[in-house]
Amino acid sequence: MGKKKTSKFARPQFSPIGPLNNMKEEEEEQEAGEVCSPARDLLEKLQSVSPDVREFACANISKLVQEKKVIPSFLQKDAVRCLGPMLLDSSVGVRETAAGALRNLSACGGYDVCDEMVKQDIMTPLTALLQQCCTELDANVVIPQKQKGADKTYVEDIANEAINLLWNLCESSSTAVSVFNKEGLLDVCIQCLRRFSINIELAISAAYCLQTITEDNAELLPSLIPSALQVLEMVLLSPEDTTEHLLLRTLIAGTVWNVKSVVPTSSQADTINAVIRILSETLEKNANQIILRLREAACAMPKVETETEMEEEMIDAGEDVTSNPEDGMQKAPHKGKADNVKNDDISDLLPVRSEELRHATALLAAQQTALEIIVNMCCSEDPSDDEWEEMSSSDESDNSMTEGAGTLFSPLCLSAEVLSALVNYLIPKKVLEKTEFTDNVTIDVCMKSPSWRHLIAKMKRIQCRALTCLHNLLSVMDMEDLGGPAALQALSQHLTTLVFSQSELPKDSEFLEAVTSAIRSLLQRMASQNLPQQCMTAEQLMILCEAGAQCENTSTRVNVVAMMGISGSALAKGDNTAETLKMVGNFLLQVATKDSSLVVVGEALDAIIDVFADGKEADKAADQMKLVQALKSFQPIFKSRVQKEGKGNLTPDQRLVLDNVKMNLRRFIAYQEALAKK
């Protein structure tokens, strides 16, 4: 299956400003004046001879750019080129606040803004700042906790802001990655990582950056000299038991997995074992219990030490929309994409006053990261698009008319060392536990505090990541390792309960994508073993598939079409199933002729060919619904769409699949017409 990567944050909505009517024009002009005026004034203040004024301007820009609608006005006034020199200002306070402003701009602006920042050469002053930080960190092996009286005590704060900015830029720009490699910025990250025992926040920022930059970056591998690997090993083996150290170890486990090819062959097995052990330790933590305990401890503290009334009001007013590194500024690669997930989460750009809340957030970040690493472990190295991870199920031979893709299953290959470690550390069991809904008691406790509410979304995201992880594990593990037929039947009941246990079908796009992905994989696996598909009733399947077909998320629509195809192929082998097969066929035909995505249309046509390829009940249903006539009418439309829409919108692999579907559709129609003449 194809390896997919999530968006780290939503792309900015840059809408052209233009009046719709006279009243709207006046309102927009007034808003433009309100937005542009502070941008102009603050950028002019950056040229002040007073360092206090420059610092004030940077701090205010940092706050303002957290509002996406403000970002275009700053970009139009060349904010990046104005702020860039501030990274090398003579005042350390200005350097820190300038780095913070650029960090927020990159985090809240999205991919396009990050790309524009790189184009405007922000990497040049950022690289110089990071190298300066590295020199100062090296010269001051141990720096006391914040004593702002001396310039050198600012270096870790500046480095933290700069590392986060670097991370965001490398997420979005191959040019930034190239600069990272050529300028030796790995040394800066390693230097920051070394300080994990005295500055865990800085180490975590460096770890996030390392996990991102080491993914699919062969050019960087020669830079990972033994001393750098020793630092990674030191972090992996660190004994500290806080949730923040757990997050740090999990991130470094992901980094080590990314660079495992540079580990000596004699140590490969031990390294893989150590990585999966850490992931196991992270997942076995009971987040519900820990969050309840932390919240109780926070409530027991004096109000001034946890959440001030001002902070509560600020969050209630909508300013605490959360943007933890694990959500807003971190890539989450996983197969089964979540590209449409909105990450308007900017809470980490605000100070977290509660130590307990910080620990709770770190725990959830660690568990989400662990699941994402496992997802990637179970991915094929094939970079093709996920919707097309299974090439058209019908091949070029006429035998394709008698075999359905829903019954074919070819598990991906995992090395013996990885598979053994996954089984020994009970990873499938721990992943399954994370697919459960969050405990209602935990949700109620978090809901009572505005500053803790954002944890609910993070817990839901962990459930979605676990479902995606389950999808991948079903694809790569042997039946015996999964627990055998009985375990698959129990899993089918569990997934059905997740979907239908509520009074109405879940509408959350991310959840629907993840749960349909898991169900699809389960149905494929059960079909490959000729197990009875008791995952859900025909009525439940139709309800879920019809709901999924209305989703904006293309992957969800592909999943439900595939689910219907797999179930239909199984029904075609049974007796007295013609009526149900007609429902399946009508659903697939409706999707094939109406869906806006060629990806979904191709999947639907493929499924139709599989379901109605052979069998008495299938032939009966196809005849009653006049399937061949309907496909014959649609065939020229499909051919035209592929020619018109496929040129600029599809990858070569996708185009190849569609051409294959087009050919098999022609053969299927000819095959069915020939049968009818006999």
525-545 pLDDT per residue, tens: 999 888 887 768 889 999 999
- DSSP letters spanning 459-487: HHHHHHHHHHHHHHHHHHS-HHHHTHHHH
Among 102-106, 338-342, 413-417, top mean pLDDT goes to 102-106
Q: Looking at residues 268-294, what average pLDDT do you find?
A: 95
With CA atoms as reference, report the closest residue to 248 among 286, 194, 284.
194
Q: Which residues contact 595 (CB under 8 A, 6 or more apart)?
A: 549, 557, 601, 604
Phi, psi for residue 333 in degrees, rounded to 5: -70, 135
Per-residue pLDDT band for 138 (boundaries 50, 70, 90) equals: confident
pLDDT of residue 381: 52
> Position of tokens 């978090």?
446
Q: Is the per-residue pLDDT at 675 higher than 90?
A: no
What CA–CA distance (Å, rounded) separates 46 from 54? Answer: 5
Which residue's entry shows tokens 């002009």? 29
- For the beta carbon of residue 523, count every other beta carbon within 10 angstroms: 27
Mean pLDDT on 190-207: 95
Give the bridge partners for 333, in sequence order.
Answer: 5
| 577 phi/psi in degrees, rounded to 5 | -115, 10
Tell me: the pLDDT tens digits for 146-165?
A: 444 444 458 999 999 999 99
Mean pLDDT confidence for 493-510 = 90
Which residue, 542, 604, 615, is CA-closest to 577?
615
Which positions ≥6 away from 380 have C-beta within 8 Å?
A: 1, 2, 3, 389, 412
Measured distance CA(244)–CA(4) in Å, rounded? 27
- Residues of the chain with pLDDT > 70: what percent? 80
Residue 203 is encoded by which pair of tokens? 């180490």
Integer Cα distance of 597 and 561 in angstroms = 13
Q: Which class for 46: exposed (0-12), middle (13-18), buried (19 or more C-beta within 10 A)?
A: buried
Paired residues of 5 in beta bridges: 333
* CA dihedral angle for residue 202, residue 204, residue 205, residue 211, rounded to 10 degrees: 140
Kindly tell me if the per-residue pLDDT of 396 is higher than 60: no
Nearest of 657, 422, 391, 406 to residue 521 by alpha carbon: 406
User: What's the token pair of residue 495?
Assistant: 């997934």
Strand, helix or coil at 656? Answer: helix
Q: State the DSSP H helix or E strand holding residue 270, giving kind and residue range, or none if neither.
A: helix 268-283
- Taking Cα atoms as reference points, which of 459, 280, 469 lies closest to residue 376? 469
- Residue 527 to residues 426, 521, 532, Cα–Cα distance (Å): 25, 10, 8
Distance of alpha carbon 57 from alpha carbon 634, whole angstroms: 61
First to last CA, the chain: 41
Q: Among candidates 244, 246, 182, which has minimal Cα distance to 213?
A: 182
- Flag whether pLDDT at 34 surpasses 90: no
